[in-house]
Chain A
Amino acid sequence: MKLNLKIWRQGGKYKGEFVNYPNLEVNPDMSFLEMLDVLNEELVSKREEPVAFEHDCREGICGTCSLVIDGQAHGPMKGTTTCQVHMRHYHEGETIVIEPFRAQSFPVIKDLVVDRSAFDRIIQSGGYVSVNTGQAQDANAIPIEKEQASHSFDAAACIGCGACVAACPNSSAMLFTSAKVSHLALLPQGLVEHQKRVLAMVAQMDKEGFGKCSNVTACEAECPKEISVENIARMNREYMGAVFASDKKMV
């Protein structure tokens, strides 16, 4: 089938503009990124610079791929990363608009590639358990209720892609940050540092320039791992607890 692409190009000779690529021959079994591969091979054969986009595992787990497709982060399907979108969901003659994730804290590097290193800095500010190699006790010395571990896992499944920020009208990173806060706060291993952690991570999130949360919940709707906004509620509670009822004051 033939499709028309309208792609955001930025850097080099492009100042930041949409460029049309009409009549691309596409096989319905291709993935979305394989379609971009075909476009790029065509551009290279015409001695033109290919469209820069990020990708790696192409099976929905590394979080490298991004793209806003027809206005939606990671495209039209629920719980799916861009690399898992297949062209059989599109029809002959359709026009697809492709843009980078847009947020002040994710500056565009080139075309569809943005800098998401702010997420690394949020984790560095406190998204871990302080345990050195070799300090651990036997793994079964800490029983954890199955359901509790499962809740924690649901939050830990975040792939750090940034779709939540791209989907949010305020470019808020609350879903990403709260997923890490929840993952660790729901486990006994993470409890020791839970207050320090939430304060540090929220402070870093604000410092990076991400917006505030106004309960739009677009983040949950467009999250390819369907991370729940419950995590945001939990982070708010953790944060309030740390600010107003610090464990330290009770000693």
Chain B
Amino acid sequence: MATAIDSKIPAGNITEKWESYKGHVPLVAPNNKRRIDVIIVGSGLAGASAAASLGELGYNVKCFTFHDSPRRAHSIAAQGGINAAKNYRNDGDSVYRLFYDTIKGGDFRAREANVHRLAEVSGDIIDQCVAQGVPFAREYGGLLDNRSFGGTQVSRTFYARGQTGQQLLIGAYQALSRQVALGTVKLYNRHEMLDTVVVDGKCRGIIVRNLLTGELERHAAHAVVLCTGGYGNVFYLSTNAMMCNTTATWRAHRRGAFFGNPCYTQIHPTCIPVSGEYQSKLTLMSESLRNDGRCWVPKKAEDRLKDPRQIPEEDRDYYLERRYPAFGNLVPRDIASRAAKVACDEGLGVGKSGLAVYLDFADAIKRKGKAAVELAYGNLFDMYAKITGENPYETPMRIYPAVHYTMGGLWVDYDLMTSVPGLYACGEANFSDHGANRLGASALMQGLADGYFVLPYTIGSYLSKEIRTGAISTNTPEFEQVEKEVRERINQLMNLGGSQSVESFHRRLGKIMWDKCGMARNAEGLKQAIQEIQALKAEFWKDAFVPGSANDFNPELEKAWRVADFIELGELMCRDALHRNESCGGHFREEYQTDKGEAERDDVNFQYVAAWEWGGNGEPVLHKEPLVYEEIEVVQRSYE
């Protein structure tokens, strides 16, 4: 039975909500902040910025990461840039336009109030990062440079060569390191959160495993913030780093946090194609390349394996420019990905596998010169050459879509609090501001907005009621019980004694997800996928094998726990995709498309956030948050 849930959106005009909220939200006085403990799990853009900012405010912060150093978090790999409505170009940008582009890019499935707030704080992020010493690209006059990204008609993307995520994360990591030195943040590296502890209906702490010794530890706090990233690795092959996982969010879900829109996954159009079975991950080629690269396939199937330089202009189909003249190669990601899939499904895909299209820079090199292209994209071209052994200055790149980002995540209200009081989710870990499709250069913006400028305000609303609570003990039956359950699950994994590697289960899960819950989905395939995943889960718990010991550094055990959680999440994703009888953004149901093959939404029946409640061993329970558009007129998305 579906019930409605409250997202606590402040009243008032869209442009006044956040200002008014900030003016009225209860505060915690400095002398009380010292008595309040906050746990941050994760140290990427959202986690590091939140931990640093809360530490600066005077809270007692503990920050946990499973990496050896906070600087390793996967935010580091973001290449292209970060959006901000600075309008430094004088090209017609504004807070409203960034807000509008993001809602439209998300195919009208994001919450208006959150997205407007995101656009409002976007400029502050750039200011903060520059003050920290982030070396953004500059022009000869010494001022900041911008580039364009998909789904927009202005240049609002700030960038640091092809390493924007790295530089922003290092900025946040340095701010975090400063607080560690000042003693406001205590850092726990090589510690992985395995469960949350709920006491009297409030989240009061976590159970973590020390990855070096295998010891389980209890940590208590007045509030817990999950900044643990997305779950793209449910597909096995994705652009995510190898250790990215859903364990923190999935375990929180099983303790009562609703999971929002799990089926909304972003397939990024420009990645290096799969080359073989042994492949462990896919490498993204930044969307910024579409500023100058032109996507095409041969018009005739017999040209598929020909040297692309020998194929004359008239025999090439620049399919994005043909289908979407207004945006051309800079259409949003979901549209570019699907167009590549359509071309390959028609038998025009290039390369040995037939699962690739060309991204060609010959025109850009002719127009701007090789040196200019090298300056803008040199590191990306080098990366491509290292992986493929081909030189993209001479021959077009071969690219294909790959799983990149998950718009779904833990459901949160306007305060970024999950449905469990005291448990927050920030960055990619929450179901986020991107609706059914995220625009390029918006993930970095959202992660840092949450951590630097939103959570530090909104968490006060909850913590102001905790000033009389006093220190929270870990010596309680609730902590005892959760720790016991974690220990039992570890023992269960160690004692499986089956015959198949955990890796092989992960690979099989990924194949089911990619084939049936990937770029295109249909009801029949999703029903099959649910059955296959249930069977895979049963087989895992009977026949997987985990070597080594639980009381030691054991990456295989870490992987086993994560894969077991991915299997459960995979099933929920398929259920969500099956229930959503429409196409929107990254969720493309083959049964619901226009004559031109574009996504066909059903705003009457599906203009809501699907927030799933863990159903124990039974079926998950669907809650709906209706999406009310007070400001923006909901229309069919068009980039033609």
Interface residues in chain A, defined as those with a beta carbon under 8 Å from any beta carbon in chain B: 11-12, 27, 29-31, 33-34, 37-38, 41, 43-45, 47-50, 52, 54-64, 77, 79-80, 84, 86, 88, 109-110, 113, 115-117, 119-120, 123-140, 142-146, 149-150, 152-153, 156-157, 159-160, 183-184, 187, 189-190
A139 touches which one: B126, B141, B165, B383 (CB < 8 A)?
B126
Give the Cβ gap from A47 to chain B, nearest Cβ, in Å.
Answer: 7
Question: Is A145's CB under 8 angstroms from B556's CB?
Answer: no
Does B133 reach chain A (CB closer than 8 Å)? yes
* A129→B189 CA distance, assembly (Å): 23
The one of A116, A136, A153 that contacts B128, using a Cβ cutoff of 8 Å: A136
Q: How many residues of B contact A (CB 8 A)?
A: 80
Known: A38-B278, A44-B501, A189-B133. A134 touches B128 (CB 8 A): yes
Interfacial chain B residues near A137, Cβ < 8 Å: 127, 131
Residues of B within 8 A of A (CB): 49, 52-53, 56, 67-72, 74, 76-77, 86, 88, 124, 126-133, 135-144, 160-161, 163, 165-167, 170, 173-175, 177-178, 180-181, 187, 189, 212, 241-243, 275-276, 278-281, 283-284, 382-383, 386-387, 389, 452-453, 456, 501, 503-504, 545, 547-548, 552-553, 555-556
Q: How far is the CA of A135 from the CA of B131 in the complex (A)?
A: 8
B contact residues around A34 at 8 Å (CB): 278-280
B387 proximity list for chain A (CB < 8 A): 31, 84, 86
- Do residues B556 and A129 form an inter-chain contact, with CB atoms below 8 A? no
A52 touches B133 (CB 8 A): no
Contact of B144 among A56, A64, A140 (CB under 8 A): A140
CA–CA, A47 and B498, complex, Å: 10
Task: Report how far A109 CA is from B243 CA in the complex, Å.
Answer: 19
Tell whether, in the assembled complex, residue A125 and residue B181 are in contact, meaning their CB atoms are under 8 Å apart: yes
B139 to chain A, nearest CB (A): 7
Prevailing SS type, chain A contact patch: loop
Which residues of B have CB within 8 Å of A11?
Answer: 552-553
Which of A64, A115, A130, A131 lies in contact with B67, CB distance below 8 A? A64
A139 to B143: give the CA distance in the assembly, Å: 9
Question: For A110, what are the chain B residues with a Cβ–Cβ distance below 8 Å?
Answer: 552-553
- Interface centre among B68, B280, B503, by most chain A C-beta atoms within 10 angstroms, is B68
Report if A37-B280 is in contact (Cβ < 8 Å); known contacts: A44-B547, A119-B69, A136-B131: yes
CA distance A59 to B127 in the complex (A): 29
> Chain B residues with Cβ under 8 A from A47's Cβ?
545, 547
Which residues of A sit under 8 angstroms from B139, Cβ to Cβ? 146
Rounded to whole Å, the gap between the CB of A44 and the closest CB of chain B is 5
Asked if A144 and B281 make an inter-chain contact with CB atoms under 8 angstroms apart, the answer reads: no
Tell me if B167 and A189 are in contact (CB < 8 A). Answer: no
Given contacts A44-B545, A139-B130, 5 further A-B contacts (CB under 8 A): A43-B547, A44-B556, A84-B383, A123-B174, A189-B131
Q: How far is the CB of A198 from chain B (nearest CB, A)?
A: 15
Name A135's closest neighbour in chain B (CB-CB): B131
A61, B131: Cβ atoms closer than 8 Å: no
B386 neighbours in A (Cβ, 8 Å)? 60, 77, 80, 84, 86
Which of A11, A187, A190 has most B Cβ within 10 Å?
A187
Whether the pair A115, B68 counts as a contact (CB closer than 8 A) is yes
CA distance A23 to B520 in the complex (A): 42
Among residues of B, the one whose C-beta sits closest to the C-beta of A190 is B133
Contact A58 B281 (CB under 8 A): yes
B69 contact from A43, A117, A129, Cβ within 8 A: A117
Distance of A48 from chain B, by nearest CB (Å): 7
On whether the beta carbons of B68 and A64 are closer than 8 Å, the reply is yes
Separation of A39 and B212 alpha carbons in the complex (Å): 23
The answer to whether B72 and A62 have CB atoms under 8 Å apart is yes
The residues of B that contact A86 with a CB separation of less than 8 Å are 386-387, 389
Q: Whose C-beta in chain B lies nearest to the C-beta of A143?
A: B142
Q: List 17 A-B contacts (CB under 8 A).
A: A27-B278, A38-B278, A44-B547, A58-B241, A60-B386, A61-B166, A77-B386, A80-B386, A84-B387, A115-B68, A133-B49, A133-B52, A133-B453, A134-B452, A137-B131, A139-B129, A156-B167
Min CB–CB distance A191 → chain B (angstroms): 10
Bound complex: CA of A146 vs CA of B141, how far in Å?
7
Give chain A nearest CB distance to B327 CB in angstroms. 28
In the complex the two chains form, is B389's CB within 8 Å of A120's CB? no
Query: Nearest chain A CB to B587's CB is how many angstroms away?
Result: 27
Name the distance in Å between B412's Cβ and chain A's nearest Cβ. Answer: 20
Are B177 and A124 within 8 A (Cβ)?
yes
Q: Is the CB of B178 within 8 A of A153?
A: no
Is there an interface contact between A146 and B135, defined as CB atoms closer than 8 Å?
no
Q: Least Cβ distance of A33 to chain B in Å?
A: 7
What separation, in Å, do the CA atoms of A143 and B140 have in the docked complex? 10
Min CB distance B483 to A, Å, is 25
Contacts of B68 in A (CB 8 A): 54, 64, 115-117
Give Cα A57 to B283, complex, Å: 9
A183 close to B135 (CB less than 8 A):
yes
Q: Chain B contacts of A143 at CB under 8 A?
A: 141-143
Nearest-CB residue, chain B, relative to A44:
B501
A-B interface, 10 closest residue pairs, ranked by CB to CB distance from nearest: A143-B142, A128-B174, A136-B131, A136-B127, A139-B130, A153-B135, A133-B53, A56-B241, A57-B241, A124-B177
Q: In the complex the two chains form, is B278's CB within 8 Å of A184's CB?
A: no
Contacts of A160 in B (CB 8 A): 69, 71
CB-based contact B160/A153 at 8 Å: yes
Bound form: Cα–Cα A17–B329 in Å:
54
A83 smallest CB distance to B (angstroms): 9
Is B278 touching A37 in the complex (CB atoms < 8 A)? yes
* B383 near A60: Cβ-Cβ < 8 Å: yes
A133-B163 in contact given A57-B241, A128-B177 (Cβ < 8 Å): no
Interface contact A41-B503, CB-CB below 8 Å: yes
- Give CA–CA (A31, B276) in the complex, Å: 11
Are B130 and A142 in contact, CB atoms less than 8 angstroms apart? yes
